[in-house]
Chain A
Amino acid sequence: MSATAAIPVRERAGAARRDPRALVLIGVTVATILLVGLVDHGFMSLQNLRFMVLNCVVLSLLALGQTLVIATRGIDLSVAPVLGLSAMVTGLMAQTGGLPLLGAFGLALAIGVILGTLNGLLVAKLAIPPIITTLGTYSLYSGLIFLYSDGTQVTSVPAAYAALGNGTVLGIVPIPVLVLGAVLAAIWFVIGHSRFGRAILAIGNNQAASYNAGIPVTATQVGAYAVCGVLAALAGLMFVSYTGSATVTTGTGDHMELQSIAVALIGGTAISGGRGPVIGSVLGALFLSVVLTALVFVHVPPIWYSAGEGLMILIAVTAGSRRTA
C-alpha cells in the first residue's frame, strides 16, 4: 500500500490522459484505404471516398447519442425505432403534404425530444433499468411507426430533402458530412466543455458521489436520453433524405440499435460508463464504413460483413480492457 502511495502519479498522467483509441482508429482507417487502394485504385477515388463518408453519417449520429447515454451507465435500444419514426413522419409529410425542410427539422427535433425524454424519465424517475426501459419503448415506438404509416411508405422525397441527403457544397463537400460535422462539434463541446456534459461523465463514474456533490442527477440523465433521442430523430431525417425511402422496418430491420452500440464500443466507449469518446464514435462509424466497402472491393461476399463487425467489436473491447487492466 505504501509502495503505491510513494510513486508520484505525475509520470503516468501523460499516457492516461490521451486515449490512443482515436489515433489507432485513424491509423487503421488510413492503412485500410491505402492497402485496398493499392489493389484497386477505384477504392481511393474521390467518388468512393465520398461514398464511404456519406455512408457512415446516419450511423455516426446514432452512435453519438448512444455514446452519451452509455457514458451515464445507460443504454438506449430505442434509437432504431426513433430513427424509423422520424424518417417515416418527416418523409410522409414531405411526400404527401409538402412539409418544408425547416419544418422537418422542427418535427424531428420534437419527436426526438419527446421520445428521448420519456426514456429518460422512465430510467431516472421510475428506476427501471435502462436496458428494460428502452426494450419496452422499442416496442412502443415501433408500434407508433406502424400506426402512423398505416400501411403506406415513403418512396420519394422533395428536391430540398434530396439536396440535404445527397447534395454538396461547391461540388465537393457533401451536405450530410457538414451536418455530421456540425453535430459532432456541438456534442464534442457539450461533453468536453459544458457542465451538462461533465455531469453526464460524473454520473457515469459515480452516481452517488455526483448526487452528493450537488449534480442534478435526474435532470442530467433525462437530458442525456433526450439528446440521444434528438440525434436518432435527426439520423432518421438524414436517412430519409439520403435514400428517399422509409418503411415500417426502417431502423429496426437492420438492428440499427445494435449497430450503434457496436460502433460506440469500437470507438472506445466503456459499457461501464464514465467515458465519452465522441470523436472515437464517429471514427468508429467511419472505420466500419471503410472496412465494409473494402470488403466489397476485395470481393468478400456481403454475408460476411456483419461477422467482420462482430470481430471488430471483440477486438476493440478486449484490446481496451488489456490496456486499462
Chain B
Amino acid sequence: MPESVAHEAGSGVYRARGITKNYGPVAVLRGIDVTLEPGCVHTMMGENGAGKSTLFKVMAGLVRPNGGTLAIDGDAVSFAAPHEAHARGIYLVPQEPALMPELTVAETMFVGQLPTTTGLVKRIDWRAMRSRARAALDTLSLDIDVGALSRSLSIAQQQQIECAKALLRGCRVILFDEPTSPLTTHEVEHLFATMRHLRDEGYTLAFISHRMDEVLEISDHVSVLRDGMLVDSVARPQFDRTRLLSRMVGREMRTIPRRSWSCATDQPALVVKGLAHGSRFADVGFTLHRGEILGLAGLVGAGRTEIAETIFGLRARDSGSVTLAGEDISTLQTHAIIERGLVYAPEDRARHGAVLPMTIAQNVTSGLISRVRSRLGLMDHADEDRIGAETVRRYRVRCAGTDQTLRELSGGNQQKVVFGKWMGLSPSVAILDEPTRGVDVGAKDEIYALIEELAREGMAILVISSEMEELVRLCDRILSVYEGRIVAELSGEAITPERVGRSYLGHAEAQDGVEVAA
C-alpha cells in the first residue's frame, strides 16, 4: 500500500443532501440524498438519463450542482474542479478514462502531481515516481509496465490505472461511472476482485451499472434513480431483483411484453456468409428476411458493431459475402450500398449518426442528399424543408422548427431524426445499432413502436442492442455473438431474458471458467 494512503485521517463517510442540477429548463437531478459508507460498495441503478452519471460528476467536482450540500466525514465541502475533490479524498473513475497517449503509464498516473526532488533545482524525481506507481499497481495486483506508453493500454487497463491513481492521491472514496459496460466478462471479474479488495481495506466505493446480475453480485447497498430522483435504497439483505427492476422503470416488470404477432416472411432480404475480419470477428453468417426483426445479442465489444459496419462498407473485410436482394454488395462503397436500400443507424449518435450543428432538415436529407429535388444542380431548399417537415410529423419529433439544429434537441428526438433520415429512404434492410441509447423511457416506447411499424411494412430489420429487454421485446429471432462469432440462435418462445443471457454468457463461462452469479 502506498504511503500516501496511510496519512489519510477521515474514515470516508461521504454524504450528499438535496442535490439538484438543471441544464437550462431540464432538471437532471431533483434533490438526491445519498450516503456512501466506508467498507461498502454502494451501487446506483437506473435507466439511461436517470441522472446517475450526473450525480457522480457532482460528487466528484466535475459538475457544479445548483443546490444541495456535500459533506465528507461531517465536513461540508464544495469543489470548483475535480482536483479539489481529489484533495478531499474523492476520486471518480470515468467510464472512458482520460488518456495521455504519448506519456508513460507512470506519468499518466502522477499527472498534475509529479514528485520532485528537494534541493536547489527541483526536478522531477522519475525514480520515485516509477517505484510509487509500481507499488500502487502491485497493491491492485496489476501486471502493467509503468514505463509503457499509455496509448498501448486497453480500456480495462486504463480503468485499472485510474483506480491506482485514486490510491496514489490518497483517495478513500472511489466512484466508478459505469465501468463494466466496455469490459469483457473476464475483465469484469478482475475489476470486481479489485473492488472487493479495496472494500475490505475500508475504502468507500460507489458504482454505476444497469446490469442486474453484476449489481446483485458486487453491491452491499443499492440505490435506484429514476428521472433525477432517488426512488429506492436497499441494503444487501433486502435485495430483490423484481423490485429493483420495477423501481428502475417505474412500473411492474415481472414479464417483458413480447409482441403477439410476427410479420416475418421467408423471403431473404440480406444474406451474410462467412464474413471475417482479422481478430475482430470470423465466420459470421445469417439470413435476414423481409418483415423480420432480427436481434444481435452479446456483450459490448463482442464485435457486433464491427460486423454491422463491415456490412455497411465502412470497414475492410478479409473474406465473406453480403448479398442484398440477390446482389452481392460486399465490394461496394457505403454510398452505393445506401442507394441499393441498406441503411445503418450507428450507436454513437454524436460522433457517427448525426451532424449536431446542422439543422433537422439537413440531417434528415444527409443520408442521401440527392433525394432533395435539384434544378440545374441547385438544391431546392423548400423541398428539403418539406422532407424535414414530413419526418418531424411522421416521427413526432418535438422541436421548434425544421431549421433548429440537432444539438438543441433531446436525445430521444435526435434519435427520431436519425430514424427519419434513414427510414425516409424506404430501405429494404435497416441495421439499428443501440437504437435507444441515451433515449428517455417514454421516447423508447415510441421508438419500439416505430420499429415494429416498419417491420409490418415489410422492412427487414437487424437490431443490435445491449439491453436485454429491448431484444426480448422487439425480436422475432436473436443471434448471440461472443468474441466475434455467432454462438447461438433463439427464436419464438425460446426468447426469454434468461435464455438470451445464458446463450452468450454461458459461452463466456465455458471459455473463461468464470462463474456468473445468478
Contact = CB atoms under 8 A, between A and B. Distances in A.
B156 A9 contact: no
A275 interface: yes
Interface string B109-123: 001111010000011
Given A2-B186, A202-B112, A212 B147 contact: no
Given A17-B149, A201-B103, A208 B98 contact: yes
A9 B152 contact: yes
A214 B112 CA distance: 6
B187 interface: yes
A205 B99 CA distance: 8
Interface stretch (A27-35, A157-165, A192-200): A192-200
B145 A9 contact: yes
Given A198-B114, A202-B112, A213-B113, A12 B107 contact: no
B154 A214 contact: no
A204 to B, nearest CB: 8
Contact residues on A (Cβ < 8 Å of other chain), bracket: 35 or more
B98 A212 contact: yes
Nearest to A216: B112
B212 interface: no
Interface string A171-197: 000000000000000000100111100
A244 interface: no
A201 B107 CA distance: 11
A71 to B, nearest CB: 9
A169 interface: no
B354 to A, nearest CB: 23
Interface in A256-279: 270, 274-275
Contact of A189 (B111, B123, B182, B301): B123
Contacts of B111: 198, 202, 209-210, 213, 215
Given A5-B156, A205-B101, A214 B86 contact: yes
Contact of A13 (B101, B107, B148): B148
A307 interface: no
Interface string A1-26: 11111001110110011000000000
Interface residues of B, number: 44
A1 B278 CA distance: 13
Contact of A206 (B99, B149, B182): B99
Interface in A107-129: none
B181 to A, nearest CB: 12
A198 B184 contact: no
B83 A212 contact: yes
A211 interface: yes
A213 B165 CA distance: 10
B47 interface: no
Nearest to B186: A2
Contacts of B98: 206, 208-209, 212
Nearest to A209: B98
A210 B110 CA distance: 11
A134 B119 CA distance: 38
B107 A198 contact: yes
A122 to B, nearest CB: 23
Contact of A2 (B105, B122, B184): B184
B81 A275 contact: no
B154 A16 contact: no
B483 A16 contact: no
B461 to A, nearest CB: 26
Given A1-B155, A2-B187, A205-B102, A194 B147 contact: no
A3 B279 contact: yes
14 contacts: A2-B184, A16-B152, A17-B147, A192-B124, A195-B114, A198-B124, A201-B100, A206-B99, A208-B98, A209-B98, A209-B100, A213-B112, A214-B112, A214-B113
The 8 closest A-B pairs by CB, nearest first: A214-B83, A209-B98, A213-B112, A205-B100, A1-B301, A274-B102, A13-B148, A2-B184
Interface of B: 62, 81-84, 86, 98-105, 107, 111-114, 116, 122-124, 126, 143-145, 147-149, 152-157, 182-184, 186-187, 279, 301, 483
Interface of A: 1-5, 8-10, 12-13, 16-17, 189, 192-195, 198-199, 201-202, 204-206, 208-215, 270, 274-275
